[in-house]
Structure 1
Amino acid sequence: MTPPETDLIGTNAIGDESPAVLACRKLTTLTQRRDFQRAARGKRVAMPGFVLQMLRRPDSSDDSIRIGYTCSKKVGNAVARNRAKRRLREVARAKLPTLGKNGHDYVLIGRNKTTAGLPFDQLLVDMEKALSILHVSRK
């Protein structure tokens, strides 16, 4: 027999799933090289801690947000690259579900020394700023 509190985990008072659960569900990770190459042909913005690339998928039959992470050997050894990618994953997890647009691919590229060295709050602010720059419609 389960306690009654466990039945309410992941739901709000109305009975729908919480926004955090919904947000985590629609982020998927890019794994194919061709998806990274397509995103490289889209819009980009360079911030002090990272470079963000964005491409709207023309065949977006699903409403998911896809995200990819990359750090070259210029970032450092394997430990430094993995640390930088962990920080980029957390930034994306925190900001993309609310500020990202469905049907878009995003690629976060780590920068040498700054991705791992900047304060995390600064990375979050940079992510908000980068997304606002990329989502401005230019006519």
Structure 2
Amino acid sequence: MRVAIIRNRSDFVAANHGIRVARPGFVLLVRPDVQGVDRVRFGVTVTRKIGNAVCRNRMKRRFRALLRDILPTRGMPGADHVLIGREGGIERDFAALRGELEAALARVAAGKGDPPRRPRPPGAGKRR
């Protein structure tokens, strides 16, 4: 199975409407993609809340290595996979992250995601 990278913001936003599985080190979003059945796409995002640029880039490199290793065999065919880094992800052991990602992908394959998040109140998150 071919593995590609998600590059457009619209694809990241669309993945937010798919299945969501939260783990201590990351949040996995998976959304079926209608364009390519023979490929798996992935994207990684880490916000500035996590740390400085060095920490964020290190976390993204670790996530990309995990995804390139696991997605060809365990990924959902024809779907977009997005990993969002969480605060504890940078200190976590690589083997622990791997186990969490495999468990999260198994939940997605079974069609079980976490319950939807509560909608944010109007005006929440606006910068002043």
- Under a length normalisation based on structure 2, what TM-score does the superposition of the two structures give? 0.83
1:75 partner SS: coil
Cα separation, partners in 2 of 1:79 and 1:63, compared to 1, 3 Å: same
Deviation at 1:62, TM superposition (A): 4.6
Residue 64 of structure 1 aligns to which amino acid in structure 2?
R
CA shift for structure 1 position 137: 3.6
Q: Structure 1: which 4+ aligned runs deviate by more than 3 Å?
A: none
Corresponding residue for 2:16? 40
Structure 1 residue corresponding to 2:69, chosen from 94, 103, 106: 94
1:79 to partner: Cα distance: 0.4
Counterpart in the other structure of 1:69:
44
**Aligned ranges for residues 1-139 of structure 1 at < 5 Å?**
26-57=2-33, 59-112=34-87, 114-137=88-111
Query: Which protein has the bigger helix share?
Result: 1
Aligned length: 112
Distance 1:79 1:61, change over 3 A: closer
CA RMSD of aligned residues (A): 1.2
Is there any run of 5+ residues in structure 2 with no aligned partner, and where? 113-128
Structure 1, unmatched stretches of 5+, are 1-22
Identity between Structure 1 and Structure 2 (%): 41
Provide the TM-score with structure 1 as the length reference: 0.77
Change (3 A) 1:76 1:98: same
Q: Measure, in 2, the Cα distance between the counterparts of 1:87 and 1:30.
A: 17
Partner Cα distance (2:85, 2:36) in 1: 29
> Equivalent residue for 1:6?
none
Larger radius of gyration: 1
